[in-house]
Structure 1
Amino acid sequence: MRKGLKLGLVQVYFGRGKGKTTAALGQGFRASGHGFKVMMIQFLKGDTRYGEIEAIKANPNFNIKQFGPQLQSR
């Protein structure tokens, strides 16, 4: 590995039912609280209003990109 590069981690949450966004946000906030930089990529099918987005905006180590039929990219 070149100097300056650090090992990253990718986690994928998918499937039917509830809990995927909650699990991803929980892990993301936990990691950012420990000083890690987090990028969450979310593919939306329905409602684009999530209150958690405001908390992410207030956290400089946590970024989110949302994609779906209703929006281009945030």
Structure 2
Amino acid sequence: MKMIIVYTGNGKGKTSSAFGVALRARGYNKKVHIIQFGKTKNTGEYKAAKKLGIDIKTFGRKEWI
């Protein structure tokens, strides 16, 4: 089954929630793709995702990334 989940809005918790779902999916050997807007590649979650085989892309203005 394929699924797309989008987290948006003000406040905290979106990244944490998304990575929780992603980690559970990887635990069941599912393919996971994460797209982030306005985040840099120099974050712990980006580095961890790469090590766990999660496809992660970051997008945004150059000053954000």
TM-score tier after normalising by the smaller chain length: 0.7 to 0.9
State the match for 1:31 in structure 2: 25
In the superposition, the TM-score normalised over structure 1's length comes to 0.76
CA RMSD, 1 decimal: 1.8
More helix by share: 2
Hey, what does 2:35 align to over in structure 1? 41
Per chain length, whose mean CA-contact separation is higher, i.e. which structure has more relative contact order (CA < 8 Å, sep 6+)? 2
1:59 is displaced (CA, Å) by 1.2
**Percentage of matched positions with identical amino acids:** 43
TM-score of the superposed pair, with normalisation by structure 2: 0.85
Q: Which runs of 5+ in 1 are unaligned?
A: 1-6
Number of aligned residue pairs: 63
Question: In structure 2, what residue type is equivalent to 1:53?
Answer: Y
Unaligned runs of 5+ in 2: none
Runs of 4+ with deviation above 6 angstroms: none
* Residue 69 (structure 1) aligned to one of 55, 61, 64: 61
Equivalent position of 1:3 in the other structure = none
